[in-house]
Amino acid sequence: MHATQIARHPEGFSASSGTLPVWNLNDLYAGLEDPRIAADLQSAQDAAAAFESRYKNRLAGLSGAELAAAVHEYERISESLGRATSFAQLLFSADSNNPAHGKFYQTMSERVTLINTSLLFFTLELNLLPEADLAAKQQDPALARYAPWLRDLRVFLPHQLSAELEKLLMEKDVTGHAAWSRLFDETTAAMRVPVNGEDLTLSAALNKLSDPERATRQAAGKAVGEAMGRHEKLFALITNTLAKDKEIDDNWRHYPTPASYRNRSNMVEDEVVEALSSAVKSSYARLAHRYYAMKAKWLGLDKLEYWDRNAPLPGDDDRAIPWPEAKEMVLGAYARFNPALAAQIEPFFEQSWIDAAPRPGKSGGAFAHPTIPAAHPYVLMNYHGRTHDVMTLAHELGHGAHQRLAAEQGYLMSGTPLTLAETASVFGEMLTFRSLLDAESDPQRRRFMLAGKVEDMLNTVVRQIAFYQFELKVHAERRTGELLPARIGEIWLEVQTESLGPAFTFAEEYRLFWAYVPHFIHSPFYVYAYAFGDCLVNALYAVYQESADKTAFAGKYTEMLKAGGTLRHKELLAPFGLDASHPEFWQKGLDVIAGFIDELEA
């Protein structure tokens, strides 16, 4: 997913873009009626039952080779289930207005959850094996291969519940968090926002906040505020319910803070996340406050309103970029860095692995879904021919390349923590931006491009840390009782005012704009991963620029992506001389943004 897409999802693009691709999911299944779906689920169900019968309460007595065979079978069954859930998620994301897709998505969630209850014992029992016994079993090379997966499992040992409780929580998720998330998705996808006589989707209305005409931006902001206001109680109920649900889970599992589970999942220490958050907050003034004060002057305004934040600069027409040209821009930027990396993203274009055409009911924003190693990733985005859309394409294809390269690690170890998952995407975006900037000779166009990059970086770093602070405050306050919708809005305005600075005034309806951010619902505390990834890539790109042997750097970079989830951030960054546990690391990344603002100031 792409952080800066949250606020900018235009709808409708001229025919000059050419035919926009729509993905072909046949590499997963041929359609809802494909008989392979039922056959695969039945096979997985039978295999899971046999697996439970064979291995439950017997792991301690297995040899290393026997335990390796069990892990391999667990991985095989899990990947089979991953194919079905991936297909359901992609269908639903492409058109959530289709009731058949919603029904299929829910049916798959319930069926797969039920099958997984037969597998649940395995990871719980693995964690209960004494450290010395597990280490002895890992002397077998077949089990040693899975050492990173076993290492990461044991991070959750202090927070593990009894097998019965874990099974109950897994089964109830389909009527708990998953159900509330689906309600949010279907509500926002079905919303219509009237703006200047047009009946728009929510994402299309939000896109109007970057319209060249200030009156249009204001009308869109007011209309979005009114639309969110009609659903304010529902969104507040969803937020309160999920925050309380998380609090109950956190208390049972003894997580010290509301963000601790996410940090464990990201295989990053609480202190590292706090160092990142503190570094960004301490840089609000030299980054966002300074930039937006300049932007107000460029726009000829004493103060900016919230609807001016994404306004194009005067004279910036942001010409339409047809899809074929966007493809060449991104492929060329990747190829100049490393032809092998370009070869990883070319099939996305050639084999219909991208869905770029905007339409009602389609998920807003963008993502790259890894699906399963036996297949390949798929990219979803809403392309409208802007430079920003080209950056989004480069970003998501970075994810796609990363997912393809890491697939060789297998289903259990190909996935990366969120903090590292953003590395390849943001790096790919930076490659494309630098390629376009270097090719641009007109000083005015370069200024527009530089300003656009700064705004993207502020959205990715400052805005996401502000989102993170919003979540921290909401979850902390929810622990003393339910929050009224007005109070959630107050917290939102507090963090926005602090992060964006004195250049802004905020109209009353802006207090409702927290409610459209899907990350708060689907993945609490996900958002700081964007800032982590952006600052990491800024530091990494600085090393690349300073490198005397750029071919060697490209080789080390590609090897880093191939590692998937087998290495932690310290191990991955060590070959580049970087360490995210040092406060200076974050300042190095933030200095890159400050340097761009310095250029604009000059």
Residue 41 lies in a domain: yes
Structure confidence at residue 591 as a pLDDT band (50, 70, 90): very high
CATH assignment of the domain containing 139: 1.20.140.70
Report which of residues 170 and 244 the model is more confident about. 244
Q: What is the mean pLDDT of residues 205-228?
A: 95
CB of 482 closer than 8 Å to CB of 237: no
Predicted confidence (pLDDT) at residue 398 exceeds the cutoff of 80: yes
- Asked if residue 558 is part of any domain, the answer here is no
The CA distance from 529 to 439, in Å, is 31
**Is 276:535 a contact under the CB 8 Å cutoff?**
yes
Output the CA–CA distances (angstroms, integers) from residue 160 to 60, 173, 255, 497, 522, in the order listed: 18, 17, 11, 39, 22
Which of 193-197, 362-366, 425-429, 449-453 bottoms out in mean pLDDT, i.e. has the lowest?
362-366
Q: Does residue 23 lie in a domain region?
A: no
Report whether pLDDT(11) > 60: no
Residue 14 in this model has a pLDDT that exceeds 60: no
Distance CA 528, CA 471 (A): 10
- Using DSSP, state whether 588 is helix, strand or coil: helix
- The Cα–Cα gap between 519 and 512 comes to 16
* Tally of domains in the chain: 1
Q: Contact, 223 vs 195, CB < 8 A?
A: yes
Region of poorest pLDDT, from 65-74, 414-423, 484-493 = 414-423
Rg (CA), the chain: 24
Per-residue pLDDT at 571 exceeds 70: yes
Q: How many contiguous H segments (helices) and E segments (strands) does the chain have?
A: 27, 7
| pLDDT tens-place string over residues 542-559 | 899 999 999 999 999 999
Instruction: Identify whether the C-beta of residue 389 lies closer than 8 Å to the C-beta of residue 381.
Output: yes
What is the pLDDT, as a whole number, of residue 131? Answer: 94
pLDDT at 8: 29
Q: Which domain holds residue 136?
A: 31-175
Q: Tell me, what's the pLDDT at 6? A: 29
**Average pLDDT score over residue span 160-175:** 90
Whether 384 is in a domain gets the answer no
pLDDT in tens, 359-387: 888 887 899 999 999 999 999 999 988 88
The sign one gets for the Cα dihedral 213, 214, 215, 221 is positive
% pLDDT > 90, the chain: 80
For 368-523, where are the alpha helices, taking DSSP H only?
Answer: 387-406, 418-439, 443-460, 462-478, 485-500, 519-522
Kindly indicate the confidence band of residue 315, based on its pLDDT and cuts at 50, 70 and 90: confident
pLDDT of 15: 31
Confidence of residue 421 (pLDDT cuts 50, 70, 90): confident
Whether 57 is in a domain gets the answer yes
Q: Give me the pLDDT at residue 13, please.
A: 37
Residue ranges of alpha helices (H) inside 254-366 are 260-265, 270-282, 290-298, 323-337, 339-350
Output the CA torsion 524→262→428→316 (10° steps): 30
Model confidence at 469, pLDDT cuts 50, 70, 90, reads very high
3-class secondary-structure state, position 452: helix
d(CA 188, CA 195): 16
Q: Which pLDDT does position 204 carry in this prediction?
A: 87
Q: Residue 379 pairs with which residues in a beta bridge?
A: 354, 368
pLDDT for res 18: 59
pLDDT at 103 over 60: yes
Contact between 530 and 456 (Cβ < 8 Å): no
User: Mean pLDDT across the stretch 339-358?
Assistant: 96
Share of the chain above pLDDT 70, in %: 97
Asked if 412 and 78 count as a contact pair (C-beta separation under 8 A), the reply is yes
Please report whether residue 528 resides in a domain.
no
pLDDT of residue 7: 30
Beta bridge partner(s), residue 66? none
Residue 53 lies in a domain: yes
Q: Which of 162, 206, 174 is nearest to 188 (CA)?
A: 206
Residue 526 to residue 265: CA distance in whole angstroms: 10
Q: Has residue 54 got a pLDDT over 70?
A: yes
Lowest mean pLDDT among 21-25, 283-287, 496-500, 526-530: 526-530
Least reliable range by pLDDT among 1-10, 220-229, 293-302, 547-556: 1-10
Lowest average pLDDT, out of 139-148, 342-351, 411-420, goes to 411-420
In whole numbers, what is the pLDDT of the chain averaged over residues?
Answer: 92
In-domain check, residue 207: no
Q: What's the full length of the chain, in residues?
A: 602
Written as one letter, the residue type at 361 is G
Q: What is the mean pLDDT of residues 382-410?
A: 94
Mean pLDDT for 213-233 is: 96
pLDDT, position 9: 31
**Cβ atoms of residues 82 and 376 within 8 Å:** no
